């Protein structure tokens, strides 16, 4: 494995990335240990496969680039670590069952399975809370459930005898009430 160090040096008055020797690299690392974190020189590691051999390259970068690189590195590490906790199966994998031949047949349907629960358990509780809150709230809930959210503004304004602007404010209060109910 070949290791290369690219560091910033002043060349003709401008800082440029140049190849460093092992001695220069060691001196930089020793100096970095003595410096406060905000004054240290930062390096990214890049491994490249070239002609069947791995080349390791340390490249000096500014603080902003280093933080971005670290963020990506940490994200990849967390994803790798979390991914080890799961087993990934192909949907074409065979299943040892006489009822199904592949996992495709085991995938849940697109049907909303939580709707009966909502209708039986949560909806009556929500309706009770809404009727105690405002007299028009239950009717507004049913309009929302029918998909008539936009047209409900005119209905609410007419029902309460207020302007459309005030009706929109009532609707925002209604939406907040429902969100808090489900929290």
Residue-wise pLDDT tens digits, 28-67: 999 999 999 889 999 998 888 878 888 899 999 988 999 9
pLDDT at 172: 93
Span 108-141, pLDDT tens digits = 666 666 667 667 777 888 889 999 999 999 999 9
More confident residue, 91 or 13: 13
* pTM > 0.75: yes or no: no
Q: How far apart are CA 132 and CA 110, in angstroms?
A: 35
Beta bridge partners of 61: 42
The tokens describing 111, both together, are 């049907």
Q: How many angstroms separate the Cα of 148 from the Cα of each of 26, 144, 153? A: 70, 5, 9
- CA 37, 39, 40, 43 torsion: positive or negative? positive
Confidence of residue 10 (pLDDT cuts 50, 70, 90): confident
Query: What secondary structure letter does DSSP report for 108?
Result: P
pLDDT at 112: 65
pLDDT at 177: 92
Q: How many angstroms separate the Cα of 169 from the Cα of each of 97, 157, 163, 176? A: 56, 10, 10, 11
Average pLDDT on 168-179 reads: 92
Percent of the chain predicted with pLDDT > 90: 40
pLDDT at 101: 72
pLDDT at 99: 73
């Amino acid at each position: 494995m070949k290791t290369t160090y690219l560091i910033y040096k002043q060349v003709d008055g401008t800082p440029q990335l140049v190849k460093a020797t092992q001695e220069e690299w060691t001196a930089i690392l020793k100096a970095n240990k003595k410096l406060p974190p905000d004054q240290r020189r930062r390096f990214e590691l890049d491994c490249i496969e070239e002609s069947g051999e791995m080349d390791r390259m340390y490249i000096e970068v500014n603080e902003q680039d280093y933080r971005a690189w670290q963020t990506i590195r940490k994200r990849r590490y967390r994803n790798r670590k979390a991914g080890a906790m799961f087993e990934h199966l192909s949907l074409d994998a065979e299943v040892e069952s006489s009822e199904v031949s592949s996992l495709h047949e085991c995938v849940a349907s697109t049907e909303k399975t939580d709707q009966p629960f909502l209708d039986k358990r949560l909806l009556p509780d929500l309706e009770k809370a809404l009727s105690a809150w405002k007299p028009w709230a239950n009717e507004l809930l049913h309009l929302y459930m029918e998909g008539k959210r936009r047209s409900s503004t005119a209905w609410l304004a007419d029902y309460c005898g207020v302007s459309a602007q005030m009706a929109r404010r009532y609707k925002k209060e209604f939406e907040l009430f429902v969100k808090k109910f489900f929290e």
